[in-house]
Structure 1
Amino acid sequence: MTTLLIWCILFVLCWPLALLALVLWPVLWLLSLPLRLLGMTFDAVFALLRAVLFLPARVLGHRQRDH
């Protein structure tokens, strides 16, 4: 909802820029998809490494202390 409000304000102030943003937004979204997939992949790899590294502590019953 906030994005729509900001776009409407931009449309009132500078309509050519608002129309350009409206046209280019799907293109930028499509270009960012591979980077999002790469980020999810790295996140999954690091989660797997963390799980493997902390597995011995979990098997031995170590509990994390609350601060």
Structure 2
Amino acid sequence: MVGFLLWLLLLVVCWPLALLALMLYPIVWLVLLPFRLLGITVTAVFSLLGAMLMLPARVLRGRPA
């Protein structure tokens, strides 16, 4: 919502720049999409490694004495 209000303010102050931003937004989003997917993948790999390393501790902690 704040982004939309800032865009409306930019439209009132400098409409050619606002229209250029409106046209470039999808292109920038497409360029940044692989980096987002890479970030999701790296997070998933680190979560998997963390779960694998913590598994022995969880098994030993869950065993009755």
What TM-score comes out, normalization by structure 2 length? Answer: 0.90
Partner of 2:48: 48
Distance (Å, rounded) in 2 between the aligned partners of 1:11 and 1:51: 49
1:57: how far off? 0.5
More helix by share: 2
Identity between Structure 1 and Structure 2 (%): 61
What count of residue pairs does the alignment treat as equivalent?
A: 62
Q: Which runs of 5+ in 2 are unaligned?
A: none
* Matching residue of 1:26: 26
Deviation at 1:43, TM superposition (A): 0.3
SS class of match (1:18): helix
State the distance in 1 between where 2:21 and 2:48 align.
39
SS at 1:60's partner residue? helix
* d(CA) in 2 for partners of 1:4, 1:47: 35
Root-mean-square deviation over aligned CA pairs: 1.0
Query: Tell me, which stretches of 5 or more residues in structure 1 are unaligned?
Result: 63-67
Aligned to 2:14: 14
Runs of 4 or more consecutive aligned structure 1 residues displaced over 4 Å after TM superposition: none
Q: State the match for 2:60 in structure 1.
A: 60
